[in-house]
Amino acid sequence: MPTSEEALALAAPYTGFFRPGLPGVPLHRMHCTLLHTVGLPFEGIDLDALLDDVEVWAREVQPFTLTFDRPAIGNVAVELSGWPGGPFTGIVEAVTQSMVRTGAEFTSAPSRYPHMSLAYTSEGSDSIESGSLKAALAALDGPLSGTVLADRLHLVEQWHDGTQILWEPIAEVPLGAAA
Q: What is the dihedral of CA 118, 123, 129, 130, to 10 degrees?
A: 30
Q: What is the pLDDT of residue 178?
A: 52
Residue 25 and residue 148 in contact, taking contact as beta carbons nearer than 8 Å: no
- pLDDT for position 41: 85
Helix (H) or strand (E) holding 89: helix 85-101
Q: Do 109 and 34 contact (CB within 8 A), yes or no? A: no
DSSP run (H or E) holding 107: strand 107-110
Residues in the chain: 179
Per-residue pLDDT at 179: 47
pTM of the entire structure?
Answer: 0.90
Taking only the tens of pLDDT, the chain with its 179 residues reads 999 999 999 999 988 788 888 999 999 999 999 999 998 888 889 999 999 999 999 999 999 999 999 888 888 889 999 999 999 999 999 999 999 999 999 999 999 999 999 999 888 888 888 888 888 888 888 778 899 999 999 999 988 887 888 889 999 999 996 54
Residue 33, number of CB atoms within 10 A of its CB: 17
Domains and CATH numbers, the chain: 4-173 (3.90.1140.10)
